[in-house]
Amino acid sequence: MNITVNGTTQDTAATTLDALLTELGYGEAKVATAVNESFVPAIKRPEQRLNHGDRIEIVAPRQGG
């Protein structure tokens, strides 16, 4: 299944957002997620199904002004 993660199109075997984060090596990293521009809370990731063409954003703390 092809999805876009942080702007890059890639293939994944993961069927849920939670599984995708594990597949990509985020582990216990402090990140937040959105699917198709909608926020997905951490607690909802295991039930967030992924579909072909989904756009996933995975963000972390960063410097800001």
Partner 1 sequence: MPVFYETEIASRLMLGTAQYPSPAILAQAFRRSGAGIATVSVRRESGGDRAGQAFWDMIRELGVHVLPNTAGCHSVREAVTTAQMAREIFDTNWIKLEVIGHADTLQPDPFGLVEAARILSEDGFQVFPYCTEDLVLCERLVEAGCRVLMPWGAPIGTGLGLNNIYGLRSLRAHFPDLPLVIDAGLGLPSQAAHAMELGYDAVLLNTAVAKAGDPAMMAEGFARALEAGRLAFEADPMEPRDMAAPSTPVLGRAFT
How does strand 32-35 pair with strand 38-40? Answer: antiparallel
- Do residues 8 and 58 lie in contact, with contact meaning Cβ atoms separated by under 8 Å? no
Taking the least distance from each CB to partner 1, the nearer of 15 and 23 is 23
Residue 13 binds partner 1, judged by CB under 8 A: no
Residue 49 binds partner 1, judged by CB under 8 A: no
Residue 38 binds partner 1, judged by CB under 8 A: yes
Chain contacts with partner 1 (rule: CB under 8 A): 6-7, 21, 24-26, 29-34, 37-39, 41-42, 57-65
